[in-house]
Amino acid sequence: MTPGSEPTTTGLRLAYATAGLLIGGAWAYGKDMPLWEHALRLCVIVVVVPPALHLVRSRLRRRSAARHLPLRQLVVAKVLLVAAAVVAELLLDPLTAWASFITAAALAAVVTVAGPTWHRRQRSPAHG
């Protein structure tokens, strides 16, 4: 790995905080649509958009020395995150009218707090 190809801790935290806020915001924004449709849309957003952005960045840079996260683990983690949000929403919905907002906040918190740690583990030599 070349110097500068590894994201800084601050940059990584900022990236995951931004992603967490966007994912949580997308969940809160879709509170009025059916849960299955909402979950499907969010899955498409979290599974399709990041690789598309990576492709665009790679085309603009032509070459990237950075090691990339394993795609399979990334997709599985994101789908499991959306599935957990669906379960949380189903459990909270009978209890409170704020179920979508609580779920959105939980999504944002999980991505923001756990994302950088998961990212570093996936990039460690022991994982590939």
pLDDT-based confidence at residue 127 (cuts at 50, 70, 90): low
CA angle 88, 108, 8 (to 5 degrees): 145
pLDDT digits (tens, 9 = 90+) for 11-26: 888 888 888 888 899 8
**In-domain check, residue 126:** no
**In-domain check, residue 125:** no
**In-domain check, residue 25:** yes
Look up the domain containing 18 and give its range. Answer: 11-119
Q: What is the mean pLDDT of residues 101-108?
A: 94
CA angle 54, 59, 61 (to 5 degrees): 95
**In-domain check, residue 86:** yes
Q: Is the pTM of this model over 0.85?
A: no
One-letter amino acid at 7 equals P
**In-domain check, residue 124:** no
Asked if residues 67 and 73 have their Cβ atoms less than 8 Å apart, the reply is no
**In-domain check, residue 128:** no
**In-domain check, residue 112:** yes
pLDDT-based confidence at residue 108 (cuts at 50, 70, 90): very high
Give the chain's domain count. Answer: 1
**In-domain check, residue 3:** no
